[in-house]
Amino acid sequence: KAELSATDRVAFQRYTFKPGEDRKVRIDLQHELLEQYGNHSRSIYYKRVNDTTVVGARTSNEWGQWQTVFFAAEFSDPIIEENLYTKLASESKLTPTDATEVGLEDYRGYAEHKPMPGEPEPDPERLAKRANDVLTHLNFGKSDEPLVVKVAISGTGVDGALKNLEADTNGWDFDNVVQQNRLAWENILGEFELEGGNKAEKTMFYTSLYRTFVAPFLYQDGDGKYRGMDGKVHQAEDGLVNYSVYSMWDTFRAAHPLKTIIDKDRAIEHARDLLNKYQTGGVLPKWELHSDYTGEMVGHPAVSVIADIMVKHPEAFTAAEFDLALKAADETVNFNLDKTESWVPYQDAWNGDKRFTVMTRHNDYQEDVGFIPANTKWAPDSGDKPGYVEGLKVDKYDELVNESVSYGLENAYYDWCIAQI
């Protein structure tokens, strides 16, 4: 029987085994969710610290570029047996190993493969130690007591995960953690009184309401450290809270406006966080995932999210924050593609140049010719190219100027949002 719960930074797992059975756990760090979308493990690190603690990291690379999750796991009982299997990136299959540490703890993603400004040169001998598949079987022996596991994660490093684990004050009381969570959700959902409707409709309402509180979620260590949009570790100051999973093209219409009504303080935190993401990354994100510019979907919806709360509650923001919001919006709408030539979030050894996914050329056409054309796929020497392209710069990004109606409509709305700021 497997039971799962969590605090802000620590997952709690409780496993109950049949009487007389060895209590065994498998840790599969290569396991890939939705592999058909191209999500693959690029680097895996694993270390057995002592007989009750293991740590590690996994870097995946596809939709979320260089997404590294560090973890520290502590067990309620000591490990009595371990069978560890690993596959280096240069190998074809898993093989047993008696090592207690495998892989690269400080894998640097793209910079490991191509020279980057301010980064050490790629080292072939170092890369030879890179593992991309690690599997371990842990045996905790027979007992009538369940096995409890606490797993802390971090976006900054193994040390961050260990500190998050050490900061937990719940001991091994799984039931207490579950009860705390039940009370927390009761306090949130209990703020709303629903009139009318049958049982099914009420269930639908509260379930939908619950989902509006799932994301964005906390993506910051207990000591305030977080990984910024530039891939570097930063220290949060002045009450800043770093969040992740801003699927803003999906949420700027309803979920985020709802926050300004039912959870004003969180909406204010989101606006300040998005402005900080601009400061660490150079442009507002469209669909942020674990401090990565995925570039997913249309336009620049962050300006809508920011404008909504700033206009509704201007008293919550300083004049400097309004100026910063306008600067962030202006540089996002008029994004300079040239600035990305040596910027890690846009250059990927496996996926190539990502500049078009961060901010496409739709805005260029909107400014230059007053609209976003649908027929932009033309060659400079073409005899039948449309008249509006005369004098315009042409490059490979023109082939990616699609969905002209969606971009035209939404960019017009986002321009209006900027005007409200």
CATH of the domain at 81: 2.70.98.10
Question: pLDDT tens across 153-198, in order?
Answer: 999 999 999 999 999 999 999 999 999 999 999 999 999 999 999 9
Measured in whole angstroms, the distance separating CA 220 from the mean position of its chain's CA atoms is 11
Specify whether 132 is located in the same domain as 46.
Answer: yes
Specify whether 233 is located in the same domain as 97.
Answer: no
CA–CA gap between residue 407 and residue 363 (Å, rounded): 9
Dihedral pair phi/psi, residue 159, rounded to 5°: -60, -40
First to last CA, the chain: 53
Residue 25 — very low, low, confident or very high, per pLDDT cuts 50/70/90? very high
In a domain? residue 166: yes
Percent of the chain with pLDDT over 90: 68
CA–CA gap between residue 176 and residue 154 (Å, rounded): 23
Task: Give residue for tokens 């962050």.
Answer: 302
397 pLDDT exceeds 60?
no
Pick the closest to residue 353 from 335, 339, 340, 368 (CA basis).
340
Expressed as residue numbers, the domain containing 395 is: 196-420
Instruction: Give the number of domains in the chain.
Output: 2
Specify whether 15 is located in the same domain as 147.
Answer: yes
Angle at 40 between CA 39 and CA 42, to 5 degrees: 140
Measured in whole angstroms, the distance separating CA 142 from the mean position of its chain's CA atoms is 39
Residue that terminates a domain, selected from 157, 181, 205: 181
Weakest-pLDDT range from 57-61, 137-141, 287-291, 373-377: 373-377
Weakest-pLDDT range from 6-10, 18-22, 121-125, 160-164: 121-125
C-alpha distances in Å from residue 291, one per residue of 40, 60, 153, 286, 390: 18, 13, 15, 12, 39
Residue 91 — very low, low, confident or very high, per pLDDT cuts 50/70/90? very high
Percent of the chain with pLDDT over 70: 87
Residue-level pLDDT at 166: 97
- Decide: 294 and 286 in contact? Cβ < 8 Å: yes
Residue-level pLDDT at 395: 53
What kind and span of H or E run contains 353? strand 352-353
Residue 365 — very low, low, confident or very high, per pLDDT cuts 50/70/90? confident
Specify whether 13 is located in the same domain as 78.
Answer: yes
CATH code of residue 406: 1.20.1050.60
Specify whether 143 is located in the same domain as 28.
Answer: yes
Specify whether 294 is located in the same domain as 401.
Answer: yes
| Coil vs helix vs strand at 388 | helix
Measured in whole angstroms, the distance separating CA 38 from the mean position of its chain's CA atoms is 17
